[in-house]
């Protein structure tokens, strides 16, 4: 039985594709987007998350830790012993290994809601294509069980992985971040060349996809980016749906709990008027444009 690493399964999701869905969040991502709202998903290994306001000072974590790391976070090896000992969830491990059948058991609990709402299952992350065998096994099982599937991806994966899962994926939720390559490298840590060529492949294969564009003030909403987007969309041909995802700073607390600095400190959220102006600028290039997931 195939297994993989996930960090969450969210039921009754309305933001990750059509209808009511269950979203399975894979652990691990090769990108480091500065606006990432799931920083706990980036590492390919389970990590310790702290919520110090839940701490009652019982000291059990100190006895449990083999590395004397409870007072010095830089020594932490993310082994999880302190989380097991902590009675208040002040210490919590993010990420766990699960089998395909364990995930399918959870997915199948809500089958009636998918059928009534036209929903299904979404594989997100992290980057689901970074665990291609596990993703493929889940998609194939969903197909056998007649469940609608969506894959939410950065597109940063070998073409062979995309080719393998495409026949079993009903819808791709494809992120497009920055078109200027140097800026893409700076703000996400990787080049966008593979992402753009994989997107062209999806278009050539006539695969069903929605584009998801994160709107980060001063980064992805600049005149340069909007102009590049317009010409890129013109090249791709009519896109079925674009989702504009407005930046929010709600993830700041997660960065604190991981002991990491928040890279976009002070970045404002885009106003509804700014979001509307971007929607108007991109409207001619897609059948439907939505603000939000
Ligand atoms: S995760 Fe392991 S190494 Fe880190 S503080 Fe807890 S017990 Fe110590
Ligand atoms: S075990 Fe949990 S509640 Fe007790 S001192 Fe450690 S972090 Fe605080």
pLDDT digits (tens, 9 = 90+) for 261-277: 999 999 999 999 999 99
Give yes or no: residues 22 and 156 share one domain.
Answer: yes
Q: What percentage of the chain has pLDDT greater than the value 90?
A: 94
DSSP codes joined into one string, 39-56 = GGGSSSS-EEEE-GGG--
What's the token pair of residue 193?
């060349």
At residue 103, the pLDDT reads 98
239 within 8 A of 233, measured Cβ to Cβ: yes
At residue 199, the pLDDT reads 97
Give yes or no: residues 25 and 10 share one domain.
Answer: yes
Give yes or no: residues 191 and 66 share one domain.
Answer: no
112 lines ligand 2 (CB under 6 A): no
Q: Please tell me the least confidently modeled range out of 15-29, 216-230, 246-260, 267-281.
A: 246-260
Question: What is the whole-number distance in angstroms between the Cα of residue 249 and the centre of ligand 2?
Answer: 28
Q: Which ligand 1 atom minimizes the distance to the CA of 79?
A: 2
Q: Which of 45, 51, 65 to probe ligand 1 with, by most ligand atoms within 8 A of CB?
A: 65
The residue nearest atom 4 of ligand 1, judged by CA position, is 76
Count: domains in the chain: 2
Rounded Cα distance, 157 and 244, in Å: 23
At residue 1, the pLDDT reads 76
Give yes or no: residues 204 and 231 share one domain.
Answer: yes
pLDDT, tens digit, for every residue of 67-122? 999 999 899 999 999 999 999 999 999 999 999 999 999 999 999 999 999 999 99
pLDDT at 29 over 80: yes
Give yes or no: residues 262 and 186 share one domain.
Answer: yes
Q: What percentage of the chain has pLDDT greater than the value 70?
A: 100
Please state, rounded to an integer, the average pLDDT across all residues of the chain.
96
223 Cβ neighbours under 8 A, 6+ residues apart: none
Residue at a domain's end among 62, 93, 124: 93
Quick one: which ligand is closest to 86's CA?
Answer: 2
Q: Which ligand 2 atom minimizes the distance to the CA of 57?
A: 5
Mean pLDDT of 177-199: 97
At residue 274, the pLDDT reads 96
Domain containing 162 equals: 3-45+95-291
Give yes or no: residues 61 and 146 share one domain.
Answer: no
DSSP tag of 144: H
Mean pLDDT of 157-186: 98
What confidence tier does 128 reach under pLDDT thresholds 50, 70, 90? very high
What confidence tier does 293 reach under pLDDT thresholds 50, 70, 90? confident
Give yes or no: residues 105 and 247 share one domain.
Answer: yes
Give yes or no: residues 201 and 215 share one domain.
Answer: yes
pLDDT at 145 over 90: yes
CATH number of the structural domain spanning residue 88: 3.30.70.20
The residue nearest atom 4 of ligand 2, judged by CA position, is 58
pLDDT at 205 over 90: yes
208 within 8 A of 167, measured Cβ to Cβ: no
Question: What is the whole-number distance in angstroms between the Cα of residue 88 and the centre of ligand 1?
Answer: 16
CATH number of the structural domain spanning residue 108: 3.20.20.70
Give yes or no: residues 202 and 251 share one domain.
Answer: yes
What confidence tier does 30 reach under pLDDT thresholds 50, 70, 90? very high
What confidence tier does 176 reach under pLDDT thresholds 50, 70, 90? very high
19 within 8 A of 120, measured Cβ to Cβ: yes
At residue 238, the pLDDT reads 77
Rounded Cα distance, 134 and 4, in Å: 6
């Amino acid at each position: 039985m195939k297994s993989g690493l996930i960090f969450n399964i969210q039921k009754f999701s309305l933001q990750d594709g059509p209808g009511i869905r269950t979203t399975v969040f894979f652990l691990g991502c090769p990108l480091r987007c500065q606006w990432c709202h799931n920083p706990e998903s980036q590492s390919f290994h389970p990590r310790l998350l702290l919520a110090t306001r839940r701490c009652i000072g019982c000291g059990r974590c100190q006895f449990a830790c083999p590395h004397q790391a409870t007072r010095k976070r830089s020594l932490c090896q993310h082994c999880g012993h302190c989380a097991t000992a902590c009675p208040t969830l002040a210490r919590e491990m993010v990420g766990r290994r699960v089998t395909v059948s364990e995930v399918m058991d959870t997915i199948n609990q809500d089958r009636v809601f998918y059928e009534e709402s036209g929903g299904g299952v979404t594989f997100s992350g992290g980057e689901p294509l970074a665990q291609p065998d596990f993703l493929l096994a889940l998609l194939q099982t969903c197909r056998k069980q007649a469940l609608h599937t969506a894959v939410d991806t950065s597109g940063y994966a070998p073409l062979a992985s995309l080719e393998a899962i495409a026949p079993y994926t009903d819808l791709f939720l494809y992120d497009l971040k920055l078109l200027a390559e140097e800026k893409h490298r700076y703000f996400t840590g990787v080049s966008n060349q593979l992402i753009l060529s994989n997107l062209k492949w999806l278009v050539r294969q006539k695969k069903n996809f929605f584009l998801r564009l994160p709107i980060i003030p001063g980064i992805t909403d600049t005149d340069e980016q909007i102009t590049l987007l317009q010409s890129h969309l013109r090249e791709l041909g009519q896109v079925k749906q674009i989702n504009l995802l407005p930046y929010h700073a709600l993830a700041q607390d997660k960065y604190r709990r991981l002991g990491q600095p928040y890279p976009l400190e002070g970045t404002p959220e885009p106003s509804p008027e700014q979001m509307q102006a971007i929607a108007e600028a991109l409207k001619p290039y897609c059948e439907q444009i939505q603000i939000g997931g």
